[in-house]
A and B are shown apart, each in its own frame.
Chain A
Amino acid sequence: MSTQDQATQNLTIVQSVRDALATEMTRDDDVLVMGEDVGKNGGVFRATEGLHDEFGEDRVIDTPLAESGIVGTAVGMAAMGLKPVPEIQFSGFAYPGFDQIVSHMARLRTRSRSRYTLPMVLRAPYGGGIRAPEHHSESKEAFYAHEAGLKVVMPSTPYDTKGLLISAIRDPDPVVFMEPKLIYRAFRGEVPEDDYEVPIGEATTRREGSDVSVFTYGAMTRPSLEAAEELADEGIDAEVVDLRTVSPMDREAIVESFEKTGRACVVHEAPKTGGLAGEITATLQEEALLYQEAPVRRVTGYDVPYPLYALEDYYMPNAARVADGIKEAVEF
């Protein structure tokens, strides 16, 4: 289906979240939204704006302030065939619900020998750079990617956000959908009015290049592209691969790009140790060693608690740091 034939709208990422929810709730009566302040208030980021009026309080539910309750009851609902889309207000507040996520959401299929599947999507804005208070800026996708049974999606454009969220809602398995709040409203993009899917588990190349591969996702896609453009002026041709889903990871796309360039720089805002850059690097080592021409560089957050906002610009990878990492990979 070509996009030209379709009516489109010019949306931000957060508007695309809302649009995906409205689209699926209209199509499928089993889909419902629940969480803290998602109803009357329309969400603290306005991701569910107007849905309460449109779909009523039984499908857009303001819950008590309790993440274990939110995730746990969503697990129960999903086991009974509903398709709940619980929201965690900030990913940094998921932890009271962590037991439910890890012990049940991730493994009920296994524990019940597939009698129960959990068609649920846990949405949470993640990441830094918005001058937010303590615990509002972390990027802890690795926790979830570490859990077998969960899929972890991290979009970077309005188009992908809608398509991936729709795919996530239709997926028979639980998905953690991490939204890059730094770029919730940073730019707009053409988004079809109709429903469409962007497949989970497929990376996309945002910029083609031949000298070095930059692997990234979510909010870090932008500074990565910026760095790639800057370096183009210096004669370095960087390819930027946006993973879009960090679990299951599109290892084929990663290896394919690397086979072309032989050099790589991995970028995420999560801390370095235990971060997914390590997983990507290991994949290259395992699958494409003979193509490797330089050590794989990691440009990441540091192994420190995310600092209060006076210093967050120093913590977050930016175009300068990404460019530095790319150059190190190229000039080795």
Chain B
Amino acid sequence: MVQVLDEEGGVVGDVPDLSEEEFVAMYRHMKLARHFDERAVSLQRQGRMGTYPPLSGQEGAQIGSALALSEDDWIVPSYREHGAAMVRGLPLKQTLLYWMGDERGSLVPEDANVFTPAVPIASQIPHATGMAWADKLRHGDETDRAFLCYFGDGATSEGDFHEGLNFAGVFDTPNVFFCNNNQWAISVPRERQTNSETLAQKAVAYGFEGVQVDGMDPLAVYAATTEALEKAKDPADGERRPTLIEAVQYRFGAHTTADDPSQYREDEEVQRWKARDPIPRLERFLRDQGLLDDDRVETIEASVREEVADAIDAAESTVRPEPSSMFEHVYAEQPPELRRQSEAFARVREEYGDEAFLEEQ
């Protein structure tokens, strides 16, 4: 398993070649993701947001991998990669709106290469293969763009995982398949998902390389992703190849805010993994390098708090969506029947008022 930092933040591998600013930015992104996550969970608890899938514990994998990408690369995420999506330019406000049930949160800004997150497990994997394939079909070796797809350990059991990776192997698509193995698929532990010793080894069956990396070591994740991207985009031997990365990590919190992990796992296990928390680990390393001290950490924490508070304000002050907007974005041109339905909807609203719809909450 690739590791750069041990659990105490001591160096045990090759530290990637990052500038001082980049190291500190990585730390700040991880703090931002963690704080965002804590606030989001508390918004849900207060009834200010719907069901939300937390990411705490998984910042090292998300941020480490997302930062390894170049500007032109893409990510194809699942529902839990708020941290990676944020690094790649999806405003936190959008993520909040989406989990607040507002369709407009699904709009990814044009300049962010983040595909619309997918909830049906593993369904995004063939998309990522297709996107990479399209780039290759259109541009051949003229481009060096890669498509990184995130999914969980549970996703490796779905047919779409097999089909997406198999196509990638057959057509040599420039993909990085990034498995966030957080040990659990809701209540089902990793060992019950597959009898394979590792998830990384599944790549062998598709004819490309699989690597296991300590997913709670952001530097190891960065290094492994960088290497995989190189293979996808510009390998020494000229043969562009996909890679499967298994980032071994842990979800500290519930599967979603609707889940109660005490039903299926022991707190002792959670505590064991918390000892590998990626944030203090990176912090220790950066302090040892003289890149962080108490003052800088405090400044970062203050700015992170402000950034998240601003995003929450922006999301919560967004006027709730116009009800008739549910008839939009279905087709390029609204078919006559849909127009009739939307007119019927308008008439009922007019006649009975919004109270008639909202009273049943």
> Residues on A close to B: CB < 8 A?
36-37, 39-42, 44, 62, 64-69, 92-93, 95-96, 129, 131-136, 223, 272-273, 302-305, 307-315, 318-321, 324
The answer to whether A66 and B357 touch across the interface, beta carbons within 8 angstroms, is: no
The answer to whether B103 and A310 touch across the interface, beta carbons within 8 angstroms, is: yes
Pick the contact of A44: B98, B160, B259, B327 (CB < 8 A): B259
A-B pairs, top 10 by smallest CB distance, nearest first, are A309-B101, A41-B187, A320-B356, A64-B157, A65-B154, A310-B101, A314-B323, A307-B326, A308-B101, A66-B157
B166 at interface by CB-CB < 8 Å: no
Secondary structure of the A contact surface, majority rule = loop
B155 at interface by CB-CB < 8 Å: yes
Binds A, one of B204-212, B243-251, B305-313, B344-352: B344-352
The answer to whether B357 and A307 touch across the interface, beta carbons within 8 angstroms, is: no
B234 at interface by CB-CB < 8 Å: no
Can you report 19 residue pairs joining A to B where beta carbons are below 8 Å apart? A36-B186, A39-B187, A41-B187, A65-B121, A65-B158, A68-B158, A68-B159, A92-B120, A95-B120, A96-B159, A96-B160, A133-B79, A305-B330, A308-B102, A310-B320, A310-B321, A313-B358, A314-B326, A320-B352
Bitwise, B337-361 to A at CB < 8 A (1) or not (0) is 1100110010011011000111011
The answer to whether B187 and A62 touch across the interface, beta carbons within 8 angstroms, is: yes
Q: How far is the CA of A240 from the CA of B185 in the complex (A)?
A: 42
Residue of B nearest to A311 (CB): B326
The answer to whether A36 and B188 touch across the interface, beta carbons within 8 angstroms, is: yes
Q: How far is the CA of A133 from the CA of B256 in the complex (A)?
A: 11
Q: A41-B187, A136-B119, A304-B327 are in contact. List 5 more A-B contacts (CB 8 A).
A: A37-B188, A64-B188, A96-B159, A302-B342, A311-B103
Pick the contact of A302: B51, B157, B326 (CB < 8 A): B326
The answer to whether B348 and A324 touch across the interface, beta carbons within 8 angstroms, is: yes
Residues of A within 8 A of B186 (CB): 36-37, 41, 44
> Residues on B close to A: CB < 8 A?
50-51, 79, 98-103, 105-106, 119-123, 154-155, 157-160, 185-188, 192-194, 256, 258-259, 263-264, 320-321, 323, 325-327, 330, 337-338, 341-342, 345, 348-349, 351-352, 356-358, 360-361
The answer to whether A44 and B258 touch across the interface, beta carbons within 8 angstroms, is: yes
* Contact A303:B337 (CB < 8 A) given known A134-B119, A314-B323: yes
Pick the contact of B341: A67, A69, A303, A320 (CB < 8 A): A303
The answer to whether A302 and B160 touch across the interface, beta carbons within 8 angstroms, is: no
The answer to whether A40 and B264 touch across the interface, beta carbons within 8 angstroms, is: yes
* Contact A320:B357 (CB < 8 A) given known A44-B186, A133-B51, A304-B326: yes
